[in-house]
Structure 1
Amino acid sequence: MAAHFSLIFLSLSALVCCSTGAFAGLSLEEQLRQLNDNYMEMKELLATKDRRLEALEADAIEQKSVIAALQQSVSGTQVAAANRQGTSTVPRSCADLKCKGETISGLYSIMGAKSVEMVYCDFSKATNDAGFQKWLGYVDVKSVPTYFYVQKNNSFTTQYVPIPFEVERVNIGGAMNLTSGIFTAPRPGTYFFAFTGDVRFLGPSTNILALIVELQLNGQRVGSSRVTESNTAGNVHSELTMQSTLNLIAGDKISLQITFMTAGGVSFLYDNPNADQRFNHFTGWLLEENLAGLL
């Protein structure tokens, strides 16, 4: 810009100098005409200067606008990256949801310590205001749906081995192996199991007859059920039941075993394959999955 002003100044100076030398020998009228011509030329030079200044100012404004846009873009990119870094995980509160950009108040699912939870978020309030987040309850989320119901169709008289089953009514998830009699937990969580059996005692007998079935976790007893009879005049049937709720980890194995029977074959789990009666039942399902290690 300084170069432009210098050029204009030199041009004006040249005009003045030229005008002074050109007046010699001219009449008054000719001098006035010459001065008017010089004035018009100087006016044109000044107009050119104004146009150049306006162009320079327009360029400067445009460059300033481009710089501001670039700065805003860089800043927006940094903020977005920071937000993504801060909220890339599963939301654990209404505050996390707000950071992710949620603005509509309503019901939302968040990740609790072990389970998915349902909360009401009131985004019209500040994060630290009472009522911003209201806890409502748990959401039943299972990554692997697991439940089974199996039955026997034959009597069973063997001790210390998992009781096998012949009839599969339901086995969603395939965690129950009927042939081996072993249930393998596919996911960590809380499970429920129930067993109902029919024990047959042969008589007559004046002795006390008994049978015990155990629920075993990884080969170790976690519960048992016993039935006894005495002074039996003939064949007697007694019902045996057992229920249990257990916290399991993935890979834990659940089975049922007869751990005691009165000797001599006078007590055993009874079923009649010919009558298709199904007296022995084993069922179980995943109540609540522990999702802490899933995310």
Structure 2
Amino acid sequence: MARSYSILIPIGILVLAWSTSSTPTAPSLEDQLQQLRKDFVQFKEVTNEKEATFEAELIELKTKDQQNSKIRELLANKINELEEKVAGLEAQLYQKIQQPVATSFVGASPNGVNELKHQPRSINGMPSSCGDLQMIGHTWNGLYSVMGLRAVATVYCDFNKPLGDPGFETRIGYTDTKSVPTYFYVQRESRYIYSGPMPFQIEQLNVGGFMDLPSGKFTASRPGTYFFSFTGVAAFPTSTTPKSYLVVSLSLNGVSVGIGEANVSNNAEDEYAQLSLQATLHMNAGDQVWLEILYASGGAYLHDDTRHYTHFNGWLLEEDISQPM
């Protein structure tokens, strides 16, 4: 037993000496710096991946919104057509109700029916069909403008045919009617780097006066469909980051409805890139539209000078006349 203890003691001393000599030393500043660089590169890679994912999701949402807008427009047109047909049928029904009254006077004269047929009568509201036009005294065949559901419609009326005949009324199309002409074209002449609605400095056109340059906001005067277009130039200073970007948003009542983006990668010197966006929107009276920088990388800005690189214009495409003034 004493011999076994004498063997274990030297072994313990050797193990203690080895463990003491193998203890790692504290990392140097250079090692710490290299580790920080590795961590930074990994962080940038994760950030770039998330940014790419976010942009892809944003594009997908924008595409779905455009598809939904087209579906809503198609449904609105279908409703318009159906309601106009209903108005025409109501006019025909009214005319048929009046026919017994007309036939009761046939014996008054050889032309008694025709005379009563063309005798003007009142209707409730503005004429919306050839039947309404006939009621108020129109007898000449030709093209007429009548009130549609949301726009003024053009119809061809053949008053030689009976009211129920398919050729009595032929729909031709719609008349471009606007209670107030509305269109604008404005520009900037200096760089812009701020958030919030983008103001403008040059007014090339502002018919109707609904574009306010100091606030950068356009206000719809009448309900209807409007078109807007923007183009500008993004400036990017020299950068060591993998990607620089600038995104401009078109906002409707504070909600982004479309964006335009410009970006560059690994720009070793100052670079410029053009960005643009267009949108067709339905707006109610009092709705507002404006542009703003949604987000931008460090140092990026919207470039401009006296040559005018920034352009914003819009106009009323079609007014919805169904709503009261």
Query: Same-fold call, TM > 0.5?
Result: yes
Q: State how far apart, in whole Å, the 1-side matches of 2:153 and 2:130 are.
A: 11
Partner of 2:266: 231
Q: State how far apart, in whole Å, the 1-side matches of 2:229 and 2:143 are.
A: 36
Does residue 104 (structure 1) correspond to residue 137 (structure 2)? The answer is no
3-state DSSP of counterpart to 2:121: helix
Partner of 1:269: 302
The residue identity in structure 2 corresponding to 1:269 is L
Answer 1 or 2: which has greater helix percent.
2
Partner of 2:152: 116
Contact 2:227–2:315 (CA under 8 A) maintained in structure 1: yes
Does residue 140 (structure 1) correspond to residue 140 (structure 2)? The answer is no
Contact 2:121–2:137 (CA under 8 A) maintained in structure 1: no
Q: State how far apart, in whole Å, the 1-side matches of 2:240 and 2:213 are.
A: 34
Contact 1:107–1:119 (CA under 8 A) maintained in structure 2: yes
Q: State how far apart, in whole Å, the 2-side matches of 1:121 and 1:137 are.
A: 13
RMSD, matched Cα:
1.7
Partner of 2:291: 256
Q: State how far apart, in whole Å, the 2-side matches of 1:142 and 1:124 are.
A: 33
Q: State how far apart, in whole Å, the 1-side matches of 2:175 and 2:270 are.
A: 50
189, 208, 211: which one pairs with 1:173? 208
Deviation at 1:206, TM superposition (A): 4.0
3-state DSSP of counterpart to 1:232: coil
Answer 1 or 2: which has greater strand percent.
1
TM-score for both structures, normalised by structure 2: 0.62
Write out per-residue CA displacement over residues 180-218 of structure 1, whole angstroms, 9 at most, x where no aligned residue.
Answer: 000000000000001001100111534311111111011
Partner of 2:319: 289
256, 268, 273: which one pairs with 1:221? 256
Contact 2:151–2:175 (CA under 8 A) maintained in structure 1: yes
Q: State how far apart, in whole Å, the 2-side matches of 1:162 and 1:135 are.
A: 44
| Bigger radius of gyration among the two | 1
- Identity fraction in percent: 45
211, 234, 241: which one pairs with 2:276? 241
Higher relative contact order (CA 8 A, sep 6+): 1
Q: State how far apart, in whole Å, the 2-side matches of 1:133 and 1:227 are.
A: 53
Q: State how far apart, in whole Å, the 2-side matches of 1:206 and 1:185 are.
A: 42
The residue identity in structure 1 corresponding to 2:171 is W
92, 95, 99: which one pairs with 2:128? 92
Structure 2: where are the runs of 5+ without partners? Answer: 1-119
Structure 1: where are the runs of 5+ without partners? Answer: 1-81
Partner of 2:161: 125
TM-score for both structures, normalised by structure 1: 0.68
